[in-house]
Amino acid sequence: MRILIVLLSVAAFCFAGELTLSGGVAGTSTFSGSDAETILWSQPPTGYAMASQYFDDMYPSYDSGVADDVEFATETVVNKIRWWGGYWNGSAGAPIDSPVEIYLYNDDGTGNAPTLPQHTSAIQSWMIDPGDYTEAPDGANYVVEYTFPSWVVFEAGTKYWIEIRKAFPFDPLGQYGWIQAEPIALSPCVQGFDGLGTVWWTAQTTDAAFELIWDDAVSLDRSTWAGIKAAF
């Protein structure tokens, strides 16, 4: 039975194409946010997509993920995140309306990577259902926005790492990745993809494209302030 499962998995690889660490089309952004937004951290897209995906049709070793760091000089509160992603290797078109996973980590103490093990060491995570975020074409790729259900507070002088990935099967939908951003702010982004020999967390030569935002138009329950701050 195990031999049969392995053969079926290999067949799936062949049908959908070869897994790669990056892909898609390099692109920049023409997107403009609303007047109600204050952009608190910005790394616009400049390159290709880096594989960051949970493949729910494969063995766990084929999980991939990209994380990038952020640090503020003063305590900073955000209520929205925006990032840029791209698709490749699929036959079903794009964008793909699938679950999104966002993880927030502490630094591992080196200044160069999040804590390990991946995902389970996160200090906060958001498992986002299809329809609870927006995604729209932006040049060669896609801009995605998600409004946090409660304020997220970043303590002053503390380095955090954010991982963003989508969850959908490789066959036939292909791959999803976080778009590269340059120049590098703080440390380069990091990636993990055991199935392709990239251990968690391996430093890359670029950053990832995202923005952290305070949006005045977003209505949040201010009573959550104390609870959310305590989580950090």
pLDDT of the chain along its 232 residues, tens only? 333 333 223 333 334 579 999 999 999 999 988 999 999 999 999 999 999 999 999 988 899 999 999 999 999 999 999 999 999 999 888 999 999 999 999 999 999 999 999 999 999 999 999 999 999 999 999 999 999 999 999 999 999 999 999 999 999 999 999 999 999 999 999 999 999 999 999 999 999 999 999 999 985 444 444 344 444 4
How many CA atoms within 13 Å lie on the side-chain side of 202? 14
Structural domains of the chain, count: 1
Query: Which residues span the domain enclosing 188?
Result: 2-230
pTM for the model stands at 0.87
Buried b / exposed e across 86-95, counting CB within 10 Å, b at 16+? Answer: bbbbbeeebb
Q: Convert the pLDDT of each residue in 73-113 to its tens digit.
A: 999 999 999 999 999 999 888 999 999 999 999 999 999 99
Q: How far is CA 218 from CA 37, 78, 191, in A?
A: 9, 11, 32
- Rounded Cα gap, residues 81 and 79, in angstroms: 7
End-to-end CA distance of the chain: 46
Q: Extract the tokens encoding 79.
A: 């209520």
